Amino acid sequence: MGGGTGGGSDDRGSQAFDPARARAAFRALAVDARAPSAVAPVGTTQDRLLPATPDGLPVRIYRPETALPVATVVFLHGGGFVIGDLDTHDNHCRWLCSETGAVVVSVAYRRAPEHPFPAAVDDCLAAVRWAAAELDALGGRTGGLAIAGDSAGGCLAAVVTQLCRDSGGPELRAQLLVYPVADLRADGQYPSRAEYATGYLLTADAMRWFRACYLPDGTDPATPTASPIRGRLDGLPPAVVVTMEHDPLRDEGEAYAAALSAAGVRTRAHRFDGLIHGSFELPVLTEGCADAMREAFGSFRALLVDGIGDTR
């Protein structure tokens, strides 16, 4: 669901899991400690405020060094629906832009607990619809709109993909889900949740707290707009699903990939051994992590350019 916040209880009011403290800790890891050598070059970046919500919806647009037209990817950041932002996932988006050659629109959706479910879903769907309307001014490639997200953002990307299918569009070319949250039910039977409950950045305690922040009292966690694995999966665009070996979310991500494939969705699943949840946001990228990003984003790029004649 994003970077861990340390030990503690699942009480939203606990000192260990205070939103402001947790956000500052994640920023210190992903932004303040970031090595300049890990930052991927892009052509340009631009911050904008979309008229998609009453207070405006911030986005950051990454443009590649390649010439237009290219695909446009709407990116939804992770962080347990609580702690991520445009800056914590800046390098993730830079790598995605650089490796795919696509324009990337990173969305600062409203976060819990101040704005619980379904505020983030509403914002992300609004951003996708805005991107579809502005496609000529973004990537410029007809039919080249796609979606991506990591962790909690992977959950939101999967949910929005289903909503686009069910609510008249826009049509999405592909989806990239990086170590996604697929099932917000606390009793989901996924062995990796117990196997990697502590010691690997994202903890079971943090996951419980994120869930409590995001889902208001009385919300059914099995509703498909919270747990996309519970939704109807046929008729969705091709997918790349990325999981990490040492990740409590590994098994539900792989279950979602298998369910997509069983529903007839063209799906490429990657599991990267030796890596942990949040690896793509770490301040220093090991050679293995950089190779994983190139491989995963390369698979996504193949979906973005499939049938267009670009064989890079």
Number of structural domains the chain divides into = 1
Catalytic residue ranges: 151
Q: Per the domain annotation, does 3 fall within a domain?
A: no
Q: What percent of the chain has pLDDT over 70?
A: 93
Q: Per the domain annotation, does 183 fall within a domain?
A: yes
Cβ 126 vs Cβ 53: under 8 Å: yes
Predicted TM-score (pTM) above 0.85: yes
User: What mean pLDDT is predicted for residues 6-11?
Assistant: 40
Q: Which amino acid is at 1?
A: M
What strand order describes the sheet that includes 70-76? 44-50, 57-63, 103-107, 70-76, 140-150, 175-178, 239-246, 267-276
Q: Per the domain annotation, does 236 fall within a domain?
A: yes
Q: Per the domain annotation, does 6 fall within a domain?
A: no
Q: Given pLDDT bands bounded at 50, 70 and 90, which one contains residue 311?
A: very low
Provide the Cα torsion 299, 302, 304, 305; round to 10°.
Answer: 170
Does the structure show a pLDDT above 50 at 8? no
Q: Per the domain annotation, does 149 fall within a domain?
A: yes
CATH of the domain at 195: 3.40.50.1820
How do residues 106-119 score in pLDDT, each as one tens digit?
A: 999 999 999 999 99
**258: number of CA atoms within 13 Å, CB side?**
7
pLDDT, residue 271, reads: 98
- Relative to beta strand 267-276, strand 239-246 is parallel
Q: Which amino acid is at 246?
A: H
How do residues 109-165 score in pLDDT, each as one tens digit?
A: 999 999 999 999 999 999 999 999 999 999 999 999 999 999 999 999 999 999 999
Q: Per the domain annotation, does 8 fall within a domain?
A: no
Q: Per the domain annotation, does 283 fall within a domain?
A: yes
Alpha carbons 253 and 55: distance in angstroms, whole number: 33
Domain coverage including residue 31: 15-305
Q: Per the domain annotation, does 5 fall within a domain?
A: no
